[in-house]
Every structure is written in structure tokens, then in C-alpha cells.
Structure 1
Amino acid sequence: MAQNPLPDHPMRYALANELHARPFPVLDPPCRAMYLAIKKLENAAERDRSEDRAHLIALLDRHGAPHPPPGADHYFGRLGRGTLKWEQHTEFVTYTLFAPEQQADAFAGELFNLFPRDWLSEAPGKVVTSCIVEVMSVAPEDREKTMARYFPSWFVPESLSVSAVADSSAVVAGDFQIDEHGHTRFAVLARPDTTPTRVGRVVQRVLEIETYKSMAMLTLPRARAVSATVARLDRELSDLATGMAEESEQATEVLHRLLAMTAEIEALSSATAFRFGAYEAYEAIVTQRIGALREERIADRQLMGEFMMRRFDPAMRTCRSAKGRLAELSGRAERAANLLRTRVDVANQAQNVEVLRKMDRRAALQLRLQETVEGLSVVAISYYAVNLAAGLLSPVGHALHLEKTDLVAILTLPVIAGVWFMVRRIRNRVASGHDEHG
């Protein structure tokens, strides 16, 4: 067949290989799976992932195992007498050990000895979940006898869920309790004719349900704290809204308080946005993985899906409620701020109009005062100018046989007219100069 002459997208092979990079484990019962999920307490999504790889390499070096390629986010290989599967996720990293069954005490956790204590203490994070899955090969006719023999000592009856899964090819049991060794226990009773690949898929889904359930539950304490804060802010917003309706307080002061509250709400929204978004994704994965098991009831026993509906779903509803209340409060605060801002703007405009009116009245008063002063100035200047001119022209008056009073009478009107014209000209010049610079 001729090779495709079209050039490949640079990411084509990488993306195609990504679909096959994390295969399900292949498990042949009887065997066990030991599982750890480790997460940093803060900013786990932004952690330095090279620390995760360095911690993995330190474990591999303890057992002389080969290293993963540089920058790898998953690994699958031999570790001691078991097989290790390591995966990096957005917020956490997981270690899963698979090994043949070699001890009678199913949940003693002896396989965890492959994780040295000092190595665990140096982990870049804290344990979110730790699981042991006991995988047994049990014929359908022996299931009830096996469950009656082992389950009372393995699990807490009050929270135990038991169901047939994957077309009744296996039975999955678990109580989601943390035992005295710090592990959550699960049991998988596979039919003898169930393929190792199918057994691996069932075990993988059980581990994913426990992991993503735990990751989703991390949001619950934050949701409760947010609910308490939202309740307080809701009361404060209601008080402010009442004050706005009654106009009992200065609008500007209320606006400042409202803007401070809005800033607090936005800060809370920003701080919880990732956590609230993450729990929704994790909850969806839990629901999908339970659906993929295709549970069937065994006698009157509780299904895993029913356990989640009774214990897990209420916690998720609390998270949804907190997220919704916070978003609703943010919208209310924003609408109240916009309304109050409009009121303040209208009040400011009214104040500006009143200020302009006062300025107009003051300008009119100043104009009248100026005109009065100008009139008085014309009279005063004219008085002195007439007397000065009469004094200067007295020789001419004697020559014309005019008395001083006659001379003053003759000079008064022209002098007043000249002074008035001069004052008007000066005022007009000053006014025009002010207009040019204004």
C-alpha cells in the first residue's frame, strides 16, 4: 500500500499514542492490589511535577527497577515481586501495586512493605486514599459461602455494598471504611472463566471510584465554610438593601459598604472557583465509573450506587448548594451596586445642577455689583477730572470771560462721556482677554 503523501500534524502520533498509554492492568486471580493516591495540600494543580517523578525514581532505585522516560506522566513495570503502575493526574499522583496472593491475612497490607517508610515520609504530598483490593477466583455456586465466610470479618456490615458487576462476571464488595491499618478495603470475587483483562478493568474502576469519591469529598469542608460566609454576607446585603429602600442612610456611604462586600464576594468566588469546578468533574467520573460496572443486585444487599446515593450524593448536593448560593449572592450584590451607583449618579447630577444655579446667581450678583461699582467709578473719576480740567482751562475761561461754574458746566458732560467710554473699553478688553484664555 502506498504511503500517505500528506504531511502529518506534529501532534498526530503523540495524541494517538496517548489513547493507549494507560492500559488496564491484567490480573489473574488470586491476587491483590495495593493503592496510594497522594496530593499536595495547597495548589496541587500547579505543583512541580518533577518532584513526583523524582519520588518515583527514588522508589525504583530502591528495587533496582528501570526509570521512566524523562517527562513521563505514567509508568508500568516490575517492582520486587509485584508490578507497579504509577500515574500523574491534575491534582494527585497514584501508585498501584499488583502481586499474586501469598499470605492468608488478606488485608494486613504486607505488600505495602515495598513502599519503605522513609520513602513514604518524603512523599511530595499527603495520602488522600489508601486501598487494598483482594481479588479471588470464586465459582458462582460458591459465592454465598465465600461471602459468609470472609465478609463479616473483612467489612463493616452497616455500610457494606455488594453487587454483581460486568455481566455477573465478578462480585465487588466494599464498605468505604478506613480500617485499623489506614486502608480502605475492597473484595473482587471473579468467576473462574473471567479473563484477566476483564478482572483488571473491574479492579481499576473500583480504585477510580474510591479515588475520585475522595477527591470530590475534599470540597465538602470548603463548601460548608463558604455556606457560613454566604449566610453572613446575605444578611448584610439584606440590611443594605433595606436601608436603600428606606433611604435612611447616605447613598454614598452605603455604596462604599456595598462595593467592599462585592469585593469580598468576588475574592471568595475566585478562591473557590477551582475547587468547585474540580468536585463537579470528580463527581461525574464517580457516576460514570459506577455505571460502567453495570451493577446487579445480589439478594437484598446494598448496591455500590445506592451507597453513593445515600452517603455521597448529599455531600455533593451541599457543594452544589454552596456554589449556587455564592453565584446568586454575587449577582444580587452586583445588581444592588449598579442600582445604588445609579442613585448616587442621579444625586450627584442634581447637586451639580444646584451648584451651577448658585454659580449663576452669584455671577449675576457680581455683575450687578460690578455695574454699580463702574457707575460710582465714573462719577468719582468724572468729578476729579472735571475739577482738574477746569483748573487747567481757567486761563482760557478768563480770556473768554467765563466764570468757573460756567466752565465746569461746559466740561461736565464731555468728561463724563469720556470717562464712561474709557471704563467700558477697559472692561470689554478685560472680558475679551478672559474669553480667549478660558
Structure 2
Amino acid sequence: MSAEVIIGDKRLEPHRLRAAILGEVHARPFRALATPARVLHFAFDTVGEQAVEDRRALSALCVRRGIAPPRPTDKHFHITFGGTGLRWEQHSEFTTYTLELPGDPALSPFHPTASSLATPMTLVAQPGPVLVAIDMQLMADRPDRLAIERHFNRPSLAVAENSDGTAVYGTDFLPDPDGFVRILVLDRGLGDERAGALVQRLLELETYRTLALLGLPKAQELAPSINRIERRLAELTNELQQTSSLADNNRLLDELTALAAELEAGAAGSLFRFGASRAYDEIVHTRLRIIGERKVGGLPTWSSFLARRMAPAIRTCTATEERQANLSRKLARAAQLLRTRVDVEVERQNRDLLRSMNARTRMQLRLQATVEGLSVAAISYYVVGLFGYLVKGAHDAGWPVDPTIATAVFVPVVVLAIWWIVRRIRNRHIGKEHEHEV
């Protein structure tokens, strides 16, 4: 499919995704199917490398039979060998193989067995664990045909006709002895195109129904952990009201953090599964609306049957996801409250510590003032002593100086001068410290 737009001789450069977007509309088209027919449908879990290996195995099969293999970008592929058609489709987390075989109007429904007809599947290695195995029989409706309900388990039977009554289809959603879920479609004038469309929609219904229910085991697995976290959160909240010490608050905060980590680990592991279950459930309901089911006699339709059997499982997944989200918010609020209490307690301790430091600082200032006074006295003593030696030397040299009087007069001058110098040095240092603090 060309993504270019041509105007005269000019080609417009397309967006890099235009071809993919245009091709998506035509992905997995319906194939015409002549009545009678037998369709065997398989869906395998293929995540990561399994999908790559599966594509490689299919390509190898095509090469062995001289058929062009699927391109790396192909998501669906159809080949025919003998009288059997094989349709391959690759999805985000699963891959489907569909065998289309001609039916025999002389045979009873589901004869021969599906296991005896599915031998072409052995030509390709199993791509992953099997999720879906469907045995669908498309037959022309005749008055002498056995009633559809005789081929299924009556308590689980779901039967409906399409919007214009040209087909009746039924199943009991139960695996047969070979593990296949049987679906019987009676053609009342569908035509090949509409028969192919209806068959594909019914196959998708059963496939997406199975995939949607994969979320239920995950929800059941997470339920005990969520219940335990909810109970412990209630206990921790009660303890929170009765404790006030920093050690107890830190202990409670550590436990709340551990519970939150456990919850988030479970939520992260189930995020994709629950989201996929919702998406698949929506696809199931979309397919049912497209078919436009109508009741047949007093039998339940597929829509009503799935509403009773499937909807509770989807609600369980949704409720589990909501419980995880609500519990996460509650844990976050409780943890925030505890952090606030811890912060307040730490600030109170810091305030007491600062108060103690202020007291010690005042004591240090008093000691410093005492030491300062002693320093003035000591320095003055040494300066006066030097001055005394000076005047004694001058007196001995014949100068008219009395050493005793000169020393006595010099003492107060020296004390005042040294006190002023020491005070000025201290004030200068204090001023610099204030400047750095500002």
C-alpha cells in the first residue's frame, strides 16, 4: 500500500506513520467461508522472544513449501496447502492460528473429532502456552437437523441468532474431551462473505473472553496481600493515635513505607493485566453489539450468559485495581502524617539543642571576658616591666628620671592602651563574623 500522494508530476512526502495507519484499517480482514465448513482456532501466549521465534518458524514452513513468507511488518498472513487454509495473526501478547477445512454435509456436527483434523498444526512448533482452542462447525440449517441444544451441556448453553435471523449459533463454553470449546453455527442464508464475518467475530468473542479472564487469577492472587495491608494499616493508624515519641514514630513510618512498597510492587505487576482485561472485555461487548443478538426460544443469549458468568470476574479485577489505588492513597496520607510528626519532633529537639548551645555560648562569652581581663593585666605587667628596665637604664646613664615615679605614672597609661587595643581587635573580629552571617 502506497502512502504517497501524487498531484500531477509532484509527489507529496508522506508522514512516516501514514502507511501503518492506513493499513491498520484493513488489518485482519474477513475471509469468505463457504458452508459447510470446519474451523479450528488456536491462540497461544507469545510474549517477547516467543513471538519472534513463532514468526521465524512460520517463515521456515512457507519456504519449505515454496510460498513467499510473511514480511517482517505483517501482522496477519494466509496460506493454503491441500484443501486446508491456514490463517496466522500476531497480536500484542498472543498469536492465533486458524485452520479452515471444508465440511461434509453428511456428517453429524463435530465429527470427526477436532484432534484428528488439527494435524497441520504439527507442521509448526508450538509458539507458546495454548490459551484458546476452538472447534467451530458451520452447517446449513435443515428441518431434519438435530436441535442445537442436543450437542451441548444444557445448564451452560448460550444460543442466539444474528440481527436478521440468517444464522443461529450456540456454545456451552466448556472444553470437550480433547480440550476444544465447541461452537455450532447454523447457516440460514448468510452467504459466503457474511458467514466468514460471523465466524471471525465468534472466534474473536471466545478468544477475547478467555484473555479478559486472565486478570481474575491475578486479582485472586493479590487479594490476601491487599487484605493484610488493609488490616495492618488500620492497626498502625490506631497506634499512631497512641504514640508520640520520635522512636515510635520512626518505627511506624518504616513499617508504613514497607507496606507501601509491597503494595506498589503488586500494583505494578498487575497494571498491564488489569488494563488488558478491561480492553478485552470492551472488545467482547463491541463484537456482541455488532452481531446484534436476538433470543432463540427460551435459551439465554451469549450476552446474557456472559453478563452472568464473565461480568463478575471483570468487576473483581476492577474492584481489586480500585482497592490498590485507594489503599495507596491512604498509605501515602498516613506516611505524610507521620513524617510531619517526625519533622515537628526533630524541630523541637533542634530548638532544645540550639537553646543549650546558646547557654554554652553565653558561658563562653563570660569566660572570654574574664580571660580578656587577665590578658590585659598580664600584657600590661610585661610592658610595665620592660618600661621599668628602660627608665632604670636611663637613670643609671645620668638622666634626671626617677624610675619608681616614672613606672608608677606609666602603669595606668599602659593598662588603658592595652585594654583599648584588645577591645578594638575583639570588636573588629565580631564585626567580620556578623558580616559573614549576613
TM-score after normalising by structure 1: 0.86
Determine which of 56, 67, 70 is the counterpart of 1:68: 70
Q: Which residue number corresponds to residue 237 of structure 1?
A: 233
In structure 1, what is the Cα distance between the partners aligned to 2:280 and 2:208?
A: 5
Output aligned runs, 1:345-356, within 5 Å. 345-356=343-354
> Are 2:119 and 1:113 aligned?
yes
Q: Which residue number corresponds to residue 80 of structure 2?
A: 78
In structure 2, what is the Cα distance between the partners aligned to 1:34 and 1:138?
A: 20
In structure 1, what is the Cα distance between the partners aligned to 2:65 and 2:108?
A: 25
Q: Which residue number corresponds to residue 275 of structure 1?
A: 273
Q: CA deviation at 1:333?
A: 1.8
Using a 3 Å threshold, how does the CA distance of structure 1 residues 387 and 165 change in structure 2: closer, same or farther?
same
Q: Gaps (5+ residues) in structure 2? A: 1-5
Q: Deviations over 1:47-95 (max 9, x none)?
A: 4643222222344456554423343211123132111111111111111
Q: CA deviation at 1:341?
A: 2.7
Q: Which residue number corresponds to residue 414 of structure 2?
A: 415
In structure 2, what is the Cα distance between the partners aligned to 1:100 and 1:174?
A: 21
Q: Which residue number corresponds to residue 30 of structure 2?
A: 24
> Are 2:186 and 1:180 aligned?
no
Q: CA deviation at 1:104?
A: 4.8
> Are 2:140 and 1:125 aligned?
no
Q: Which amino acid aligns with 2:139?
A: M
TM-score after normalising by structure 2: 0.86
Q: Gaps (5+ residues) in structure 1? A: none
In structure 1, what is the Cα distance between the partners aligned to 2:44 and 2:176?
A: 18
**3-state DSSP of counterpart to 2:145:** helix
Q: Which residue number corresponds to residue 91 of structure 2?
A: 89
Q: Deviations over 1:25-57 (max 9, x none)?
A: 2122111101010113xxx2x446432222223
Output aligned runs, 1:139-150, within 5 Å. 139=142, 142=143, 146-148=145-147
**3-state DSSP of counterpart to 1:393:** helix
Using a 3 Å threshold, how does the CA distance of structure 1 residues 382 and 8 change in structure 2: closer, same or farther?
closer
Question: Could you tell me whether the CA contact under 8 Å between 1:131 and 1:183 is conserved in 2?
Answer: yes
Using a 3 Å threshold, how does the CA distance of structure 1 residues 409 and 171 change in structure 2: closer, same or farther?
same
Q: CA deviation at 1:394?
A: 4.2
Output aligned runs, 1:159-178, within 5 Å. 159-178=156-175
In structure 2, what is the Cα distance between the partners aligned to 1:204 and 1:268?
A: 36
Using a 3 Å threshold, how does the CA distance of structure 1 residues 391 and 30 change in structure 2: closer, same or farther?
same
Output aligned runs, 1:1-80, within 5 Å. 4-5=7-8, 7=12, 9-10=14-15, 11-12=17-18, 14-40=20-46, 44=47, 46-47=48-49, 49-60=51-62, 65-80=67-82
Output aligned runs, 1:163-242, within 5 Å. 163-191=160-188, 193-242=189-238
**3-state DSSP of counterpart to 1:297:** coil
Q: CA deviation at 1:234?
A: 1.8
Question: Could you tell me whether the CA contact under 8 Å between 1:63 and 1:80 is conserved in 2?
Answer: no
Question: Could you tell me whether the CA contact under 8 Å between 1:397 and 1:407 is conserved in 2?
Answer: no
Q: Which residue number corresponds to residue 294 of structure 1?
A: 292
Q: Deviations over 1:280-324 (max 9, x none)?
A: 100001111122222222221121112111111111111011111
> Are 2:423 and 1:424 aligned?
yes
Q: CA deviation at 1:327?
A: 0.9
Q: Which amino acid aligns with 1:96?
A: T
Q: Percent identity?
A: 37
Question: Could you tell me whether the CA contact under 8 Å between 2:50 and 2:127 is conserved in 1?
Answer: no
Q: Which amino acid aligns with 1:124?
A: P
